[in-house]
Amino acid sequence: MKKILTYFLLPIAVIILGYLIYSSIQQPVEFERNRKLRESVAIERLKDIRTLQVAYKSKHASFTASFDTLIDFYKNGQITIVKQIGSMDDSVAVAQKKVYRDSVKIFVRDTLLKRTGFVIDSICYIPFSGGEKFDMKAITGKVSNVDVPLFEASASYNQLLKGLERQLVINLNSDRVESGRFPGLKVGSIEAPNNNAGNWE
């Protein structure tokens, strides 16, 4: 009986123990790999939201809290760009008034976010979240007693890291809160104006 325990059960126990040790080491490594992947996709989407919000503000003098409005602005909106005709370095052309600026209207979709694979209708969704949307807010706030349009868009780690090891997500949230940082990804701020910066920058 002792021989059976020694030759068969002991090696099995060693293998199981080794697997458990390996898994406990690999779990945080795998979590970090997945977290970085998900963050990179979400950051790109938050940058797209910021690009459209800034363009929207240039047209309407305010930001929007509505993704429907932002998507419609991309699909149907126009922005005005100023083009310089001629060169200011050409003194003859300047003297002959052949150098001037001209305003041209162009469709937003023809100038912004024209990369391969960009789908405007997906801009509101948090990647890997199962269809949850970014939280987006827009207000006019006071900055040095001046009314300033402000916006923010965010995704919590609970949403972005859905399906990953729950305890590691809890630990990450706790670390962020203890250090006074938002537990997730956020661009812009309606509470502490930051020139529309992302908290990853």
pLDDT in tens, 91-120: 666 666 766 677 778 889 988 998 888 999
Residue-level pLDDT at 145: 86
Residues in the chain: 201
> What amino acid occupies position 128?
F
**Sheet bearing 184-188, strands edge to edge:** 135-143, 146-156, 184-188
Tell me which of 26-35, 44-53, 119-128, 166-175 is least confident: 26-35
- Each residue of 128-181: pLDDT tens digit? 999 999 999 999 988 888 899 999 999 999 999 999 999 999 999 999 999 999
Q: Where are the beta strands (DSSP E) in 45-188?
A: 78-85, 100-107, 135-143, 146-156, 184-188
Verdict on whether the full-model pTM lies above 0.85: no
Q: Rounded distance, CA 193 to CA 43, Å?
A: 19
Question: For residue range 47-97, what is the model confidence (pLDDT) as tens digits?
Answer: 999 999 999 999 999 999 999 999 999 999 998 877 767 666 666 666 667
